[in-house]
Structure 1
Amino acid sequence: MSDTEPEDPTPRAARLPTAERHAQILDAAMEEFADRGFAGARMAAVASRAGVTKGLLYHYFPGGKTDLFQAVVAACVEPTLTEAREVAGSFKGSARALLQALIELGYARLEAAPPREEVLMKLLLIEADRFPELARFYRDRVLQPALRLAATVLQAGVESGEFREDLVRQPGLTHVLLAPILMGSIWRMMLGPREAPDLRVMRDAHLNLALRALDL
C-alpha cells in the first residue's frame, strides 16, 4: 500500500499519509457507531464524517460495516493487549508480581477508557447475539489472547513454585481470573461510572482473593 491513497477526494497537497487517514476513518466510525448503533450505522455516513469517498472506505474495509466495526473495536482493545504482552515479555520479577501487574493494568485501562469506547463495547455486547461474526471476533481477537496470556503467567508461577498446581490445572480458572475486570466494565456500562462499584476497590479485592488462593 502506498503512503497516500488514489481515491482520496482531497487535493493532492492536503492528502494524508495512510496511517493518519486510517486513524481518521476509525475516529469517524467510532462516532457513527456510538451515535447510531451497529444496525443503524451507515458506511456513507462514516465516509462523510471522515471527509473521504465511500470507495476509499471500502478500499480499507472491503467487508463493509462488519469489518469497520471490528477494526474500531480492535483499535480500542488491542493497545491494552499489546501493552500487557510487552509487560509480560520484559518483566523481571516473580510470576506473582507479574500477575498483579497485569490485573492492575486491566483495571487502569478500564478506568481510563473514554465514554465512546464504553459505548462501543456496550454495542458489541448488545449486537453479538444478532451478529455472530461480532461474537467470534471478540472471542478470537480479545478473549482468547487474554486467556492465553493469563494461562502463561499461571504456568510460570507453577514452575517457579509460587502457585498451587492443583488450582492452576482447574478448568475455567483463567476465565474466572479475568471475569471481575469484565464485570467492572459491564457495571460501568449499565450504571455509569458514578454509580458503578469503585474500580480501585474491586481491583484490591480481586488481587487479594486471587493471590491468596493461588499462593502455596
Structure 2
Amino acid sequence: MNDALPARGARLPSAERHALILEAAVEEFAGRGYAGARMAAVANRAGVTKGLLYHYFPGGKTDLFRAAIASCVAPALAEANQLASGFAGSARGLITALIDLGYARMALEPREHILMRLLMTEADRFPELAEFYRSEILQPSLMLTRQVLRAGVESGEFRPDADSLPGLAHVLLAPILMGSVWRMTLGEGAPDAAMLRAAHLQSAMRVLLAAPDG
C-alpha cells in the first residue's frame, strides 16, 4: 500500500527535510490560516510522516508556525545584524543602509508578507503568536535600532538624546512595517516603495542629525 512506503521527505538529509517541512508549512498556513491548518496536511505536503513532523515540532502547530515565521524573518534579521556589525561608515550611513534593507525585503520576500498577515489576523485569538512576534521579531529589531542610535550619539552625529527619546526606535521602524501592511492588503495599489523610502529617510534625518546637514 502507498502509505507503507517511505515518505519522500524522510529520505532527505536532515537539513533539506527540515527546509521542505517549513516550505510545506508556509503553504498550508497561507492556504488555510492558522486555525484551519492541520499538521497532517503539512506532513502530506512535505512527504513525511506525521510522527516525524511531531519529532521536529513537539509543540505541534504553534511550534511549527513559529518556525515557519522564523524561517522567513530570521534571514532579514541576520542580514541586518551582519550589516551593522561590519559597517565601516557613519551612523547616518548605517541607518540609511538598514532602511534600504527593510524596503528591499518588503519588495522581494512575499513569504514574509503571507505569514505576517496571518500573524496579525490570528494574534488576537492566539496570544502566544503575538508574544512570539514581540520577543523574536520586534524586540531584536528595536535592540539593533537602539544600538545604532547610541553609536550615532557617541560619535556626535545624532542629537544627544537620540538614544533615550521614548519610542524613537519604534518610530524609525514603523514606516517599513506600515509599508509592508499596505503591500499585504492593497497589493498593486499600495503606495510606491521608493516614495515611502525617500520620505522615511528625509524625516528620520531631520529628527536624528545633531546639526542641519550642510
- TM-score tier (shorter): over 0.9
2:17 paired with 1:21: yes
Cα deviation, residue 167, structure 1: 3.7
Cα deviation, residue 10, structure 1: 3.7
Cα deviation, residue 166, structure 1: 2.4
For 1:136, the aligned partner's letter is E
The unaligned stretches of length 5 or more in structure 1 are 1-7
| Counterpart Cα distance in 2 of 1:170 and 1:56 | 48
CA contact (8 A) 2:153 2:160 kept: yes
Of 24, 45, 51, 2:47 maps to 51
| Counterpart Cα distance in 2 of 1:159 and 1:11 | 55
State the Cα RMSD in Å.
Answer: 1.5
For 2:6, the aligned partner's letter is P
2:114 paired with 1:135: no
In structure 2, what is the equivalent of residue 202 of structure 1? 196
In structure 2, what is the equivalent of residue 9 of structure 1? 6
The unaligned stretches of length 5 or more in structure 2 are none
2:174 paired with 1:164: no
| Counterpart Cα distance in 2 of 1:168 and 1:200 | 27
In structure 1, what is the equivalent of residue 172 of structure 2? 177
What's the TM-score once normalised by structure 1's chain length?
0.92
In structure 2, what is the equivalent of residue 149 of structure 1? 144
In structure 2, what is the equivalent of residue 39 of structure 1? 35
CA contact (8 A) 2:150 2:162 kept: no
| Counterpart Cα distance in 2 of 1:158 and 1:11 | 54
For these two proteins, the number of residue pairs brought into alignment is 206
Of 106, 110, 118, 1:110 maps to 106
Q: How does 1:116-131 map to 2 (within 5 A)?
A: 116-131=111-126
| Counterpart Cα distance in 2 of 1:198 and 1:127 | 27
Q: How does 1:51-90 map to 2 (within 5 A)?
A: 51-90=47-86
In structure 1, what is the equivalent of residue 186 of structure 2? 191
CA contact (8 A) 2:8 2:48 kept: no
In structure 1, what is the equivalent of residue 95 of structure 2? 99
For 2:124, the aligned partner's letter is D
- Percentage of identical aligned residues: 67
Offset from partner CA, 1:26-72 (integer Å, 9 cap, x none):
01111100100000000000000000000000000000000000000
- Runs of 4 or more, structure 1, over 2 Å off, are 8-12
| Counterpart Cα distance in 2 of 1:172 and 1:117 | 25
